[in-house]
Amino acid sequence: MADFESVDFLRERHVRFFQRCLYVLPERYAPYETSRLTIAFFSLSGLDVLGALDVVDRHSLIEWIYSLQILPTADQSNLQRCGFRGSSHIGVPYSSSKGPGAPHPYDSGHVTMTYTGLACLLILGDDLGRVDRAACVSGLRALQLEDGSFYAVPEGSENDMRFVYCAACICFMLDDWSGMDRQKTIDYIRRSTSFDFGIGQGAGLESHGGSTFCAVASLCMMGKLREVFSERELGRLRRWCVLRQQNGFQGRPNKPVDTCYSFWVGATLQLLDVFQYTNFEKNRNYILSTQDRLVGGFAKWPDSHPDPLHTYFGICGLSLMGEAGLQPVHAALNISLRASDSLRRLHECWRRSRT
């Protein structure tokens, strides 16, 4: 127990780590320019969970995110390409007004950028008032395949459980499931359940902590988890997840533990109501062993370089265990409970105005 108490969580260093991710990324991040919005999401949601959002300029970030929205053009011919892009790399004119959008042959939304863009706006306290919700839903609907999975972009890409999760987050945040054929998605998730009762990226693929989270969280957001899986199946799924704990959590059997799975598997166990039966002390000690004590942030392994993704999921993994000074997180939507509460109030408002 003495060890458990003595490892300290260096909150201020992590706040500065995320500030650097938002404003001064080193050159080695240049290849990630097209998905810059995801780095902004890790940083902003991380600062939110750290209770430190006051260090960012909310107004300019909100304007930047809106400038990444692909709005319908005057003739509405690009409706199936709407959503959010990851950065300004394609060079379309900067606009954060409500439209119409500028036509560009290669411009389209990306399902992960639409998800993280909407989440960032919520985290920053925006009311999504300038989001063209109908256009986002049209763009999303165009990404679903016959088998129920989703592409990331309209011209086609990999299609798997990651993008199913992004699609579910978009529907949940917009309070509109017309962009997804839920029955097809549910069938895809069922077909992706493996012989060992974990869930893979698709049918016949190896069970994986990341895809298991994506599937379970998507079903929770649909309110269908207990309809889709029987109590016996849920018990087997719990067992597969619980067995991923070594000290921290691994993503697959016989793989090394990795900080991010403290969230992927930890959050899944929380959604399955059994996270409290895992060993918090070992989990916490592992996460903190990957903390960079000099520059802040968390890495996947001890003595490795910290990065925005593992820093965010390390902090969320600690938050799931009730680490002092951290905001609680919504395990399915993967944002702070504070941000998900403001989403709930927004939905009540939208529903009132619809009736």
Which two tokens mark 243? 């067995």
Closest residue to Zn ion in the complex (CB): 260
Smaller CB distance to Zn ion: residue 125 or 302?
302
Nearer to Zn ion, 78 or 245 (CB): 245
Burial 17-53 (b: 16+ CB within 10 A, else e): bbbebbeebeeeeeeeeebbbbbbbbbbbbbbbbebb
Q: 102: closest CA among 73, 63, 79, 69?
A: 73
- The residue count for binding Zn ion (CB under 5 A) is 3
Residue (259 or 340) nearer to Zn ion, CB: 259
Residue 117 or 306 having the CB closest to Zn ion: 306
Distance (Å, whole) CA 229 – CA 226? 5
Does 260 engage in binding with Zn ion (CB under 5 A)?
Answer: yes
Cβ proximity to Zn ion: between 14 and 81 the closer is: 14
Task: Point out which span in 221-229, 252-260, 289-297, 338-346 binds Zn ion (CB under 5 A).
Answer: 252-260
Please name the helix (run of DSSP H) or strand (run of DSSP E) that holds residue 40, with its range, or none.
helix 36-49
Instruction: Name residues contacting Zn ion, limited to 298-327 (CB under 5 A).
Output: 300
Distance spanning both ends of the chain, measured CA to CA: 56
Residue in 326, 294, 295, 303 with CA at minimum distance from that of residue 313: 326
Q: Which is nearer to Zn ion, 260 or 329 (CB)?
A: 260
Site string for Zn ion, 23-62 (x = CB under 5 A): ----------------------------------------
Q: To the nearest 10°, the Cα dihedral for 91, 95, 99, 105?
A: 0
Pick the stretch among 24-32, 81-89, 265-273, 296-304 that binds Zn ion (CB under 5 A): 296-304
Among 48, 126, 132, 258, binds Zn ion (CB under 5 A): 258
Strand 329-330 with 159-160, pairing: unpaired
Binding footprint of Zn ion on the chain (CB under 5 A):
258, 260, 300
